[in-house]
């Protein structure tokens, strides 16, 4: 749903770990002619200060949400052709970079998960605390909605979605309850789904946590193909980096963070077979990790901005060209 009244993007969103992201990207973004991809542009909360800090920088901002692109466009308009916006999912990063006229990049930033814009608009259906149509598509112009998944997926598939993407221990119970409920009436609104989950949840569990949290996360990941997209996007972004280029990734749930960790850590290790007398150049690590494990937001930021509470930040620098 597009709004007819202009809104101020800076008032809608407080970027997470902004100073740390700027610090990590600065060595790569500072050189004249540098190109950085903000793979999750959102409302431009990270991109605007990046462009302000580095006058020689060109930024390519990707987002699958047309409304976010429109809002970011207003925010970044003053930077002219230094800010290039692309309607794309972040696993399309190679095509987006080439479409903008570049072969390689100096930095990539991923701020994963749901944007403030999507969470704060009840009609998008992302939040279980607000009754709304069960949409959950980040790009509302295409794809299957959450309501359609709930209406058509067999019980086994629903269980697998809740187990894999929500790590929900009651996945089987919830899948059975949904199949029984949809036989009586379609589950088309978030309030309906919450009611079904509440009724299927033992009282002891209801007292510990909201039964909808993990199910809603799982449905969102399924609808938007988030893990499959991420699994393709991180290697593609690393491959685009020039020597000295840097990648910064912020994850908000353990499934995302594990994928990011696997890729960045794996490419920061030697690939030399055991027993070789010396390490050949092509076996040397491609990346140098810039963080010790996953960094958390500081306590003061977590208090100011609750959306920073679950964040896990990882970053790396390219130190060797890949063998092509």
Which residues does the annotation place in the binding site?
44-46, 63, 90, 111, 118
- Total number of domains constituting the chain: 2
Residue 274 placed within a domain: yes
Chosen domain end from 224, 245, 268: 224
Residues 132, 105 within the same domain: no
Q: Looking at residue 265, which CATH number applies to its domain?
A: 3.40.50.150
Would strands 241-251 and 287-289 be described as parallel, antiparallel, or unpaired?
Answer: unpaired
Which residues does the annotation place in the binding site for S-adenosyl-L-methionine?
44-46, 63, 90, 111, 118
* CB of 18 closer than 8 Å to CB of 308: no
The residue among 236, 322, 244 whose CA lies nearest residue 26 is 244
What is the enclosing helix (H) or strand (E) of 164?
helix 155-166
Residue 270 placed within a domain: yes
Quote the CA–CA distance of 314 and 75 in Å, as a whole number: 27
Query: The dihedral of CA 211, 216, 221, 223: what is its sign?
Result: positive
Residue 204 placed within a domain: yes
Residues 231, 185 within the same domain: no
Stretch 101-108: mean pLDDT, rounded?
A: 98
> Above pLDDT 70, what percent of the chain?
89
Residues 109, 231 within the same domain: yes
Residues 107, 237 within the same domain: yes
Stretch 63-91: mean pLDDT, rounded?
A: 94
Residues 21, 94 within the same domain: yes
Residue 1 placed within a domain: no
Residues 156, 185 within the same domain: yes
Residue 259 placed within a domain: yes
Stretch 192-197: mean pLDDT, rounded?
A: 95
Question: Structural domain of residue 58, as residue ranges?
Answer: 9-117+226-318
Quote the CA–CA distance of 322 and 324 in Å, as a whole number: 6
Residues 6+ apart with CB under 8 A from 89: 62, 64, 139, 229
Residues 135, 282 within the same domain: no
Residues 238, 100 within the same domain: yes
Lowest mean pLDDT among 22-36, 54-68, 73-87, 133-147: 133-147
Residues 100, 181 within the same domain: no
Average pLDDT of the chain? 90
What pLDDT is recorded for position 5?
Answer: 41
Stretch 134-163: mean pLDDT, rounded?
A: 92
Chosen domain end from 180, 203, 224: 224
Residue 280 placed within a domain: yes
Residue 282 placed within a domain: yes
2: pLDDT confidence band, cut at 50, 70 and 90? very low
What pLDDT is recorded for position 244?
Answer: 97
Residues 231, 108 within the same domain: yes
Residues 144, 280 within the same domain: no
Beta bridge pairs of residue 35:
58
Is residue 127's pLDDT more than 80?
A: no
């Amino acid at each position: 749903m597009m709004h007819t009244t202009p809104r101020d993007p800076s008032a809608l969103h407080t970027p997470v770990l902004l100073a740390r992201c700027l610090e990590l990207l600065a060595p790569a973004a500072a050189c004249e002619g540098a190109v950085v991809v903000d793979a999750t542009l959102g409302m431009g909360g990270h991109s605007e200060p990046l462009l302000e800090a580095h006058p020689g920088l060109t930024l390519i901002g990707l987002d699958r949400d047309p409304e976010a692109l429109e809002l970011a466009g207003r925010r970044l308009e003053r930077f002219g052709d230094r800010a290039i916006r692309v309607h794309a999912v972040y696993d399309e990063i190679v095509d987006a970079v080439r479409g903008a006229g570049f072969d390689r990049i100096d930095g990539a930033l991923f701020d994963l998960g749901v944007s403030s814009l999507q969470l704060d608009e009840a009609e998008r259906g992302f939040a279980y605390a607000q009754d709304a149509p069960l949409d959950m598509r980040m790009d509302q112009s295409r794809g299957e909605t959450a309501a359609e998944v709930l209406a058509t997926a067999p019980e086994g598939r629903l269980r697998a979605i809740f187990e894999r993407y929500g790590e929900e221990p009651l996945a089987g119970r919830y899948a059975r309850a949904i199949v029984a409920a949809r036989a009586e009436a379609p589950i088309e609104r978030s309030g309906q789904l919450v009611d079904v989950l509440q009724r299927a949840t033992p009282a002891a569990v209801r007292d510990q946590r909201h039964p909808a949290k993990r199910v809603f996360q799982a449905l969102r990941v399924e609808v938007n193909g988030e893990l499959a997209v991420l699994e393709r996007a991180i290697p593609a972004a690393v491959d685009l980096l020039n020597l000295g280029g840097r990648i910064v990734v912020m994850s908000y749930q353990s499934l995302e963070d594990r994928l990011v960790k696997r890729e960045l850590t794996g490419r920061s290790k030697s690939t030399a077979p055991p027993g070789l007398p010396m390490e050949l150049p092509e076996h040397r690590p491609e990346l140098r990790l810039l963080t010790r494990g996953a960094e958390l937001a500081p306590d003061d930021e977590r208090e100011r901005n609750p959306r920073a509470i679950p964040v896990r930040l990882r970053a790396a620098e390219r130190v060797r060209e890949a063998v092509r």
